[in-house]
Amino acid sequence: MLLGTDYRGYLRIEQPNLRGYYSMNEPTGGLVLLHEEISREIIGAFFDVYNELRPGFLASVYKRAMFIALNERGIACEREKSVTVHFHGTPVGDFRADLLVEKQIIIELKTVDKIHAAHEARVLNYLKATRVHVGFVLNFGPKPSFRRLVSSTSLRGQATDRH
């Protein structure tokens, strides 16, 4: 399921293809989101960082600032978390998650005009390759934007964390 949540608490579920996704744009009401409290803290930290630093820096600056903002909120996170992807039991590549929050949420940071489907696809691939089910694309571009993504099809056991 592909979810986007805006700063007002509205849930947006988009239809990226015909594999059973559907569109909706309404208040979340009684809907319970996976890792909802941590997600709200991430969104709050995102807007705190954006409002203080404003757009124009490299993504690495926002990554460090998000790390600080999340830690100040009591949220544990790791920067540049390396993960090895396996195919038929053989390592085939690595990726580095910008931030791994509470070992439950992957964050990819961008500094672009707008979030594109390719940015969302990358995070969804990260989710599929790990035991993590929730990811964010946070964009520190001219207009702050984010997408909250949820994967229900992780490849359990197909990726290993490297320390």
Measured on CA atoms in the order 22, 41, 6, 8, is the torsion positive or negative? positive
Which strands sit side by side in the sheet containing 90-101, from one edge to the other? 24-27, 10-13, 2-5, 145-150, 134-139, 105-110, 90-101, 77-87, 159-161
Distance CA 44, CA 67 (A): 13
pLDDT in tens, the chain (163 residues): 344 444 444 444 443 333 333 333 345 556 678 899 999 999 999 999 999 999 999 999 999 999 999 999 999 999 999 988 888 889 999 999 999 999 999 999 999 999 999 999 999 999 988 889 999 999 999 999 999 999 876 444 333 333 3
Cα of 113 vs its chain's centroid, Å: 18
Q: What tokens does 139 get?
A: 């964009």
First to last CA, the chain: 30
The model's pTM: 0.75
Specify the pLDDT at position 63: 98
Please list the helix, strand and coil fractions of the chain in percent, rounded to the nearest 5, in that order: 25, 35, 40
Residue 47 CA to residue 66 CA, distance in Å, equals 10
- Structural domains in the chain, CATH included, are 41-161 (3.90.320.10)
